Structure 1
Amino acid sequence: MSTRHAEIVEGVVTLRSPSWAHESATEVIRRQLTPRLEELALVSGSGNLDLPGSENRYVPDLAVVPADLAAKTEGALLPDQTLLVMEVSSPSNAETDRTVKRRRYGQYGAPLHLLVDRQARTCTLFSEPGRLGYAVEDGPHPFGTAVRLPEPFALALDTSRL
């Protein structure tokens, strides 16, 4: 695991190299999403998301996008082109994920944002994006509690292995 990601958060370039525990949490969610992704012609990954008009370019831990859009996009996508964006917190970035990224993903129209907070051992699903961020917050749910994803996913995520 030598992958390093560079992202720009509020104008500051940040290099991240996720830990194995961080990657494991991402994989737990990805595996549960995979059957629905195939049915709905969606793909997941951690490609760049641009936030035009700001000094931000994020690399989410997981983003779900239409497969045809991903296949033809060489550069960054926009948050409103995703169906779900997930961030997994680490000790070095937990506050950024909890506040800055959550607000920005909502402002830029990502329909669903899942925060897996490894330090607090909770998951929170944010929905109904708007000018000030997200209007609806479902959680925080302690690890071990199912987190329900709405349509088009229509599934309950098992968080017991996070």
Structure 2
Amino acid sequence: MTSLPDWMRPPRTEGWFAEDLDRLPEAPRHTELIDGALVFMMSPQRSWHSRVVTALTNALDAQAPAGIEVEREMTVRLDSRTRPEPDLLLVTVPFDPDRTWHDPENVLLVVEVVSPESAHRDRTVKLRKYAEAGIPHYWLIEDEAGAAVAHVYELDAPTRSYIPTGIFRGSLSHSVPFAITIDLSRLVPRTDAAP
């Protein structure tokens, strides 16, 4: 077994902390910190995932009211040892070109587009952690035979857990965090269409 590069060794015996992510220029792009452990996105990203994220970014950006920004692939500092990187965020703070993470109190919505390698984290670990941090809305976008399906959750504040508010196929129409209508069937081009 080859030795680990120096940058992969935690800077202290307690392991990694949220601020350490900003000091790891050698780390692969999309490195997350979950409970003090570095999580790398090592497998190549599927085109389906990339297209869905881009189309959702455009749709949310077009409908977001003034004062709400759409961020893509930006970490959220949930606590001192957890900084996941959702695919999309709706935030209530102005754009800052030097920002590297967001506070959960400024996040209205987190969107995770599920990939095979992230499925467990997106459906269980992040679902729990985003809710515990008080983020009001969480969407999971799943690949169902090539179609984008949205699983929509809303925070139950007293229990700090998410409750499902709908599974949307074809079209997503929701009133929170603002009035949103998205044609899910148009997020990814049909593969059965004639050239």
Does residue 125 (structure 1) correspond to residue 152 (structure 2)? The answer is yes
Paired residue secondary structure (2:96): helix
Gaps of 5+ in 2: 1-27, 188-195
Secondary structure at 1:83 match in 2: strand
Partners of 2:167 and 2:136 lie apart in 1 by 18
Counting strand residues as a fraction of each chain, which structure ranks higher? 1
Paired residue type of 1:43 = E
- How far, CA to CA, are the matches of 1:35 and 1:7 in structure 2? 28
Match of residue 57 from structure 1: 83
- Give the deviation of 1:148 after TM superposition: 2.4
Deviations 1:38-80 (A, max 9, x none): x423221221101115x31111100011242x42873421223
Over aligned residues, Cα RMSD in angstroms? 2.4
| 1:99 and 2:127 are equivalent in the alignment | no
1:20 positional shift? 2.3
Residues 71 and 149 from structure 1, CA distance in 2 versus in 1: closer, same or farther, beyond 3 angstroms?
farther
| CA distance in 2: counterparts of 1:26 and 1:71, whole angstroms | 21
Pair 1:73–1:81, CA change in 2 (3 A): farther
For 1:117 and 1:9, locate their aligned partners in 2 and report how far apart those are by CA, in whole Å: 22
Given the superposition, is the C-alpha separation of residues 22 and 66 from structure 1 closer, same or farther in structure 2, using an over 3 Å criterion? same
Question: SS of 1:40's equivalent?
Answer: coil
Structure number with bigger Rg: 2
Unaligned runs of 5+ in 1: none
